[in-house]
Chain A
Amino acid sequence: MSWLRTVRDELIGLFVDDGRFAASIVGWIVLCALVLPRVSLPAATPPILLFAGLAVILVHNAARRAREGRQP
């Protein structure tokens, strides 16, 4: 059964190596999926909000990781 665990870990590792980062991405997508189609905004705005949130998550998380310092 250890090979099954290895396969499972490899599959999860494809998408998640920092739990907080992955949770932020999924959380933002879920929030956008629930809210953006229901609010009345100019058509161009919701895609920009979707992108902007993801860009902020990327920059913020990379900066947080950099604060933690160099690891081998």
Chain B
Amino acid sequence: MEIDWTHAGPSIAAAFFASLVEFIEALTIVLAVGAVRGWRGALGGTGLALASLLALVIVLGPALTRIPLQAVQLGLGTLLLLFGMRWLRKAILRASGVIPLHDELAAYARERAALEAMGVRKSGWDRVAAATAFKITMIEGIEVVFIVIALGAARAGLLVPASLGALAALVLVILLGLLLHRPVAMIPENTLKFIVGVLLCAFGTFWAGEGMGLTWSGEDWSIPALNAGFLAAALVAIPICGGRQRMLAAGERA
């Protein structure tokens, strides 16, 4: 199959960055499981989850190609907007101080404490370790599967590039995990979520519009314009939310 890299580039980038965020969150918990309860169960649970997720992409991706394209575009565009706007709203609220920033080191410490409270087992097959690693990899991985399918199935020839973007993120996170043996806290995850939120909103709007039969002037070049539009909206929202937050705090102090 021939891939048009000019059209595939934005899908690959969006899938890569979105998957990177999800895999970093999964890595934090898998590292905590491995460190506390041993690596056999942690890696076994993670491997099983990754195999299940791969099977989901293989089954669901091609199955969607049997549904009329406009219906798929409208459906996936709507879901992508629900997903992406939820992320972007959360990123805006974090950037303006309304909700706390996500902290991988704190999440790691919480998970370690919870696992240590269950008792330590470093040898043999550990069902708790396997189940915990399986669950977190499935939870974060389902989001990756959705992103890959939503970015890839709305047009012929994009599923493979979107999968490659997610795969590259997985390889990068595995390498970082092997090198660091601790949560990946140096990547600015909240900034990454902000960028990914903008990208997913732009794709969602584009696919939804295509599904409605709207004509995008500039065709695929409308996606960068939508990115700029959502980025501008988010940058407008941050000071508004920050101002509301400060007014509320001042009111509580008075």
- Interface residues, chain A, with chain B CB atoms under 8 Å away: 10-11, 14-18, 21-22, 25-26, 29, 32-33, 36-37, 43-44, 46-47, 50-51, 54-55, 57-59, 61-63, 65-67, 69-72
- Nearest-neighbour CB distance to chain A for B125, whole angstroms, equals 20
B residues within 8 A CB of A51? 205, 226, 229
Residue from B78, B82, B146, B213 with most neighbouring chain A CB atoms (10 Å): B82
Chain B 168-200 residues near chain A, CB threshold 8 A: none
The SS class assigned to the B binding surface is helix
The SS class assigned to the A binding surface is helix
Question: B212: CB under 8 A from chain A?
Answer: yes
Q: Report which of B100, B208, B237 forms a contact with A62, defined as CB distance below 8 A.
A: B237
A29-B208, A63-B237, A67-B248 given; A72·B229 CB < 8 A: no
B residues within 8 A CB of A55? 229-230, 233
In the bound complex, how far is the Cα of B106 from the Cα of A52, in angstroms?
38
Question: B215: CB under 8 A from chain A?
Answer: yes
In the bound complex, how far is the Cα of B87 from the Cα of A58, in angstroms?
11
9 nearest A-B residue pairs (beta carbon): A66-B241, A55-B233, A15-B82, A66-B244, A59-B237, A62-B237, A62-B92, A33-B212, A43-B215
- Nearest-neighbour CB distance to chain B for A36, whole angstroms, equals 6
What are 26 A-B contacts defined by CB distance under 8 Å? A16-B82, A17-B86, A17-B90, A18-B86, A18-B89, A21-B89, A22-B82, A25-B78, A26-B82, A32-B208, A43-B215, A50-B208, A50-B209, A50-B214, A54-B201, A57-B85, A58-B88, A59-B233, A62-B92, A62-B93, A65-B241, A66-B93, A66-B96, A66-B240, A66-B244, A70-B248
Chain B 206-249 residues near chain A, CB threshold 8 A: 208-209, 211-217, 222, 226, 229-230, 233-234, 236-237, 240-242, 244-245, 248-249
- Nearest-neighbour CB distance to chain B for A55, whole angstroms, equals 4
Residues B98 and A70 in contact, CB atoms below 8 Å apart: yes
- Nearest-neighbour CB distance to chain A for B80, whole angstroms, equals 9
- Nearest-neighbour CB distance to chain B for A9, whole angstroms, equals 11
Residues B212 and A36 in contact, CB atoms below 8 Å apart: yes
